[in-house]
Amino acid sequence: MDKLSVMHAYRRIVERGNFARAAEDIGVSPALLSREIKLLEESLGSVLLTRTTRSMSVTDAGRLYYDEAIGILDAVSKVETRIRDGAGTVRGHLKVNAPSSFGQTVIAPMLPAFRNAYPDLSLTLSLDDRMVDMVEGGFDVSIRIRAAMPDSALVARKLGAVRQRIFAAPAYLDRAGHPKTPQDIAQHAVIGFLLADHLTSWSLRGCSGASTVELDPRVRVGNSLVLRDLLIAGQGIGTLPDFVSNAPEARGELVRVLPDWELPAPEILAVTASRLGMDARVMAFLEHLRAALRT
């Protein structure tokens, strides 16, 4: 008995819901498929499927075997793909997920060079500031900016870190005054990032120690680029990641508030679902992304 072939057949049976449809997919007779599954059950000493003339159901043991079979079959498929692509040819389709502001300010500018380097690769870039289920979404890699990854089956690789600092427009500070200490910020018009862990509490670090400021932002937005534009318009004080703040700070549209203080630096993570490592498509994309982060 070819265990991988039978495992593949069993997966199709469970996903298609009956033997006839699975047999049609695989190209064998239902009777042969039934015999193969019977042999599998006998080798395992456990019933995987309960069958009647009209219905089929998966037992607890069958569900466990199905879940493990998916992982094994997918792993084998990915190994075979990596070997076939071992010469380094980057082709096929790459599906990437990233936060909106990071995607627009860092990934989008690098895409023309990436596309020119790999013309045989098609690309889907999905931008979403909320955490997505990358497995359910079918993403090959997800870029996440977080202080730490929660425990999961996903594999995270660090690409860099983000400096998160406090900014305001010169016009706002001329009008409202410059905060002298972290606690002074609570007296100002604060614009908060709706999805951040630090929406109402800023744990700041500086050369003189640490300070926590409790806040009630007058305006709360769910996109860093909108927050940036409100700050430039003189609407208040807020925190921005460096990939969003660098350009307006260089132009003088924003200035640092309490330059000796900043929030803890979250990490830029490339998250994949495979424990086997990254294939040529993902590796090529991350190579270009690392180069963009260095500029």
Q: What is the side-by-side strand order in the sheet with 255-256?
A: 238-241, 164-168, 255-256
Residue 26 scores a pLDDT above 90: no
What would the mean pLDDT of 233-255 be, rounded to a whole number?
96
Class of domain 3-84: mainly alpha
Write down the CATH number for the domain with range 164-262.
3.40.190.10
Q: What is the structure's pLDDT at 101?
A: 93
Q: What is the structure's pLDDT at 290?
A: 92
Q: Do domains 3-84 and 92-156+267-294 have the same CATH topology?
A: no
Q: Which of 237, 181, 257, 241 has the alpha carbon at shortest distance from 213? A: 181
Domain boundaries, the chain: 3-84, 92-156+267-294, 164-262
Q: What is the structure's pLDDT at 192?
A: 94
Residue 25: band (very low, low, confident or very high) from pLDDT cuts 50, 70, 90: confident
Q: What is the structure's pLDDT at 198?
A: 87
Written as six digits, the tokens of 120 are: 């045989």
* CA dist., res. 101 & res. 239, Å (int): 14
Q: Which of 66-70, 256-260, 272-276 has the lowest mean pLDDT?
A: 272-276
Q: What is the structure's pLDDT at 150?
A: 58
Share of the chain above pLDDT 90, in %: 51
Q: Which of 182, 244, 245, 189 has the alpha carbon at shortest distance from 214? A: 182
Q: Which residue has the higher pLDDT, 150 or 293?
A: 293
Q: What is the structure's pLDDT at 87?
A: 44
**Which segment, 6-15, 112-121, 163-172, 194-203, is predicted with the most confidence on average?**
163-172
The beta strand positions in the chain, using DSSP E, are 49-51, 56-58, 92-98, 121-127, 141-146, 155-161, 164-168, 191-193, 201-206, 209-214, 219-221, 238-241, 255-256, 261-262, 267-272
Residue 5: band (very low, low, confident or very high) from pLDDT cuts 50, 70, 90: confident
Kindly tell me the burial class for residue 225, based on how many C-beta atoms sit within 10 Å of its own C-beta (0-12, 13-18, 19 or more): middle
What would the mean pLDDT of 162-183 be, rounded to a whole number?
96
Domain 92-156+267-294 has CATH 3.40.190.10: yes
Share of the chain above pLDDT 70, in %: 93
Q: Which residue has the higher pLDDT, 207 or 254?
A: 254
The helix (run of H) or strand (run of E) holding residue 25 is helix 19-26
